[in-house]
Amino acid sequence: MNHKLLKNGLYNAASGAIRIGLAVLTIPVLIRLIGVEEYGLWTLASAVVAMVTLAEAGLSTTTTVFVSQDLAREDTESLLQTLTVTIGAMLILATLAAIALWFGAENLVKLFPKLLIEQRLAAVQALQIAGVVVWTRLLQQIVVGLEQAYHRYGAMNFLITLQSVLTSLGVLVLAWLGGKTVALMQYQAFVSVGSLVAHIWLGWLLMRNIKLHPIWNLGKILVITRYSFMTWLASLGGVLFTQCDRIIVGGLLGTETLGVYAGITSITSQINVLSALIVQPILPALSNLLAYPQEHLVKFQDQIKKAFKVNILTALGMGIILFILASIIMYLMLPSQVTDETILAFRIATIIYTTYSMNAVGYYILLAVDAVRLNLVINLLSGILSLTLIYVLCFKLGLIGAVLGNAGYLLSLLFIPCALKQINLLIVKST
C-alpha cells in the first residue's frame, strides 16, 4: 500500500478503533443499566434494522467503484450518469424499505414467540421508528461511496466517528434516565438524520465545481443494475451471518442468552471490522488503476501484496489481544454472566473471527476486478453454512453451539485463492 492508501487505511483503522472502544465500553454499561433481557430486545430490534438496510442493494460499493473509474477517466458526463442511477435507485429503495418496516413491524415481531406481551409492543414501536433510521442510513451509504471514490477518508471517518460517539453517549444517557428500547431507537433516528445532512454537505463540497444535473443513460443503468444486484446478493451472505444469527439465537434460546451471545460477538466481530477497514481503501484505488490496467499492472500487484500483509497482521494482533484478555473483557461486559462456559465461548468466537477476517483483501479484489458473481457464491454459501450450523448446534449445545456455528463462515477464506486466480487472469490479458 502506498503512502496515500496507508494514510486512508489508518483513518479507517482509527475510526474503527474508536468504535470498537465505544462498543467495549458501551455494551457492558448498557447491559447493567437496562438488564440482559432488555439488551436482548434492543439487539433483536437492531438486528432487524440491519437486515432491512440490506435493501441498499450494493449501491454503496457500486458508487465507489464506478465513480472511481469515472474520475480516473476524467469523464464528467459518465460521473453524472453514475450518480443519477445510484442516487435515484437508492431513494426508491430506501423509501420502500422504510414503508415496509413501518407497516410490517407487527408481523415481524410475531416471528419471536418467546417475547412477552410488553416486549412485543415495545418491539413493534421500535421497529416502526427504525424506518427513519433505515431511510437515512441507506441514503448516507451513497454519499459515503462518493467520499471513498474521492479518497476523502479523513473527513468521512470524522463524520462516521462523530455519529458513533453521539449515538453511544446518547444511548447511555437515555438508559441511565430509564429509557428502554423505544427511546433508544428514537434517539438513534434523530442522530441518523443529522449524520445524513452532514454527509450530504461534504458530498456537495467535493462536487461543487461540477454542474449537478441528472443524466439518464440506458447502457449505464443496465451495467450498474447488474453490478449492484450481484454485489447486493454477495453482501447478503455477510448480513445473514452477522445479523440473522442473532434472530435465530433469540428465537431458539430466548433474549437472555441472546444478550450474552450478542455481547460476545459484538466485541469479537470488531476484529473483522478493523482488519477490513484498514485495507478498504484498496477498493477505490484498484478500481481507479483498472481504468487503465496495462499502465498500472506492477503498481496493482505491489499494492495487493502489501494489503495482504496489513490485513493479516491486524487480524492476528487483535485476535491475540482479545484471546488473552477474554476473562477481563467478560467481567467488564457481563459481570453477572461470567462462567467458564461464557469465557470459553468468547475465546472460541475470537479464534473464528480472527481466522476468517484474513479474507478482506480477497473480497475487495473480487469487487474491483468485477468478479462479483464469484464473490456472491462464496459469500452466500458461507452465510448459509454458518446459519445452518448455528441453528443445529443451538439445540445441542446452547450458547457454545451458537458460537461454534460461526465457524461456517470460515468458508469465506476462499476469497483469497479465487482473488489470486483473477489477478493471474488479468496479468495474462494485459501481456
- Where are the alpha helices (H) located in 110-217, listed in sequence order? 117-149, 153-176, 181-206
pLDDT tens profile 65-93? 888 888 888 888 889 999 999 999 899 98
- Cell 447488474 -> residue: 226
Mean pLDDT of 310-318: 92
More confident residue, 51 or 57: 51
Q: In 3D, which of 91, 87, 108 has the Cα closest to residue 216? A: 87
Highest mean pLDDT of the ranges 22-26, 75-79, 305-309, 410-414: 410-414
> Measured at the alpha carbon of residue 286, what is the angle toward residues 63 and 84, in degrees to the nearest 5?
15
* pLDDT surpasses 90 at 304: no
Distance in angstroms (rounded) separating the CA atoms of residues 130 and 22: 22
Sort 75 into a burial class: Cβ within 10 Å, 0-12 / 13-18 / 19+: middle
Specify the range with the lowest mean pLDDT, choosing from 36-50, 238-252, 280-294, 343-357. Answer: 280-294
- Rounded Cα distance between 71 and 320, Å, is 40
Average pLDDT over residues 226-246: 73
* Helices and strands (DSSP H and E) totals, the chain: 16, 0
Q: Indicate the pLDDT class of residue 372, thresholds 50, 70 and 90.
A: confident
Q: Minimum mean pLDDT among 40-54, 165-179, 268-282: which range? A: 40-54
Average pLDDT over residues 245-257: 82
Contacts for 49-52: CB closer than 8 Å, 24+ residues apart: 49/101, 49/127, 49/130, 49/133, 49/134, 50/239, 50/242, 50/243, 51/239, 51/243, 51/244, 51/247, 52/97, 52/100, 52/101, 52/130, 52/134
pLDDT given at position 366 = 87
Region of 151 on the Ramachandran plot (φ > 0 left; ψ -120 to 50 alpha; else beta) = left
Percentage of the residues of the chain whose pLDDT score is greater than 70: 91
Please give the mean pLDDT across all residues of the chain: 85
- Enter the C-alpha cell of residue 167: 449515538
pLDDT for the residue 132: 92
- Tell whether the model's pLDDT for residue 351 goes beyond 90: yes
Q: What is the pTM of this model?
A: 0.74
For residue 127, is it left (φ>0), alpha (ψ between -120 and 50) or beta? Answer: alpha
What's the mean pLDDT in 44-69?
A: 79
State mean pLDDT over 193-214. Answer: 91
Q: How far does CA 17 lie from the centroid of its chain?
A: 15
Pick from 36, 23, 53: which is nearest to 235 by CA? 53
> Residue 116 has what DSSP assignment?
-
Counting Cα atoms < 13 Å in the Cβ hemisphere of 213 gives 2
pLDDT for 378-397, tens place per residue? 888 888 899 999 999 988 88
15, amino acid identity: S
Three-state secondary-structure class, residue 294: coil
2 by Cβ neighbours in 10 Å (0-12 / 13-18 / 19+) ranks as exposed
pLDDT tens track for 126-160 = 889 999 999 999 999 999 989 988 888 889 999 99
Give the confidence band of 428 by pLDDT, cuts at 50, 70, 90.
Answer: low
State residue 375's pLDDT score: 84
Contact by Cβ (8 Å): 12, 284: no
Q: Is the pLDDT of residue 3 over 80?
A: no
Neighbouring residues of 43: CB distance < 8 A, sequence distance ≥ 6: 246, 250, 258, 259, 262
Q: How confident is the model at residue 426, as a pLDDT?
A: 65
Residue 190 has pLDDT above 90, yes or no: yes
**Which grid coordinates belong to 407?**
465457524
Which position has the grid cell 412485543?
Answer: 120
The model's confidence at residue 425, banded by pLDDT at 50, 70 and 90, is low
What was the pLDDT predicted at 12? 81
Q: Where are the alpha helices (DSSP H) in 53-75?
A: 59-73
Range scoring the smallest mean pLDDT among 118-127, 221-230, 300-309: 300-309
* DSSP state for residue 18 in the 8-state scheme: H
Check residue 33 and give its pLDDT: 86
pLDDT value for 187: 94
pLDDT tens per residue, range 327-338: 988 888 777 777
Q: Which of 8-17, 33-42, 265-274 has the highest mean pLDDT?
A: 265-274
The torsion region of residue 2 among left (phi > 0), alpha (psi -120 to 50) and beta comes to beta
pLDDT (tens digit, 9 = 90+) per residue, 100-128? Answer: 888 888 887 877 777 778 888 888 888 89
Look at residues 265, 237, 215, 206 and name the one whose alpha carbon lies nearest to residue 359.
237
Residue from 344, 334, 31 nearest 176 by CA: 31
pLDDT computed for residue 291 by the predictor: 58
C-alpha–C-alpha distance, residues 213 and 243, integer Å: 37
**Chain centre to alpha carbon of residue 341:** 28
**What's the confidence (pLDDT) of residue 393?**
93
Residues whose CB falls within 8 Å of the CB of residue 147, separated by 6 or more in sequence, listed in order: 153, 155, 156, 199, 202, 203, 206
- Which amino acid, one-letter code, is at 395? F
Residues in CB range of 367: below 8 A, 6 or more apart: 61, 65, 231, 283, 375
pLDDT attached to residue 236: 66
